[in-house]
Amino acid sequence: MTFQLTLHLKREHFEQIERGEKEFDFRLKTPYWQKHLINKEYKTIRLLCGYPKRGEKSREMLVRYRGWLPKIILHPHFGKKPVHVFAIRVHDRIQ
């Protein structure tokens, strides 16, 4: 069975993906994301700018699911120490 992964993004990150400047979206390696990413078969990812109202197509993107990579990154959003993340590929836009 294949599923669609939905990711809610901050406007800044949504717009970077929209412009083709951002290849990965990072999610902390937590039990929640392990459950949702490991051993799941996704076909697409629905990227949402925040929590849009139903039908707000300008705040929604669909990309092909191309998997994820385990990474250790240093990013201000996650604090001052390096963290383990799932780097989810978000660059293969469908619409």
User: Can you give the length of the chain in residues?
Assistant: 95
CA dist., res. 69 & res. 1, Å (int): 22
Q: Can you name the CATH fold of 3-89? A: 2.30.130
Q: How far apart are CA 12 and CA 39, in angstroms?
A: 30
Identify the pLDDT of residue 95.
66
Dihedral over Cα of 45, 50, 53, 55: its sign: negative
pLDDT of 53 reads 82
- CA 61, CA 11: separation in Å to the nearest integer? 12
pLDDT in tens, the chain (95 residues): 678 999 999 999 999 999 999 999 999 999 999 999 998 999 999 999 999 888 888 899 999 999 999 999 998 888 899 999 999 999 999 96
Domain positions in the chain are 3-89
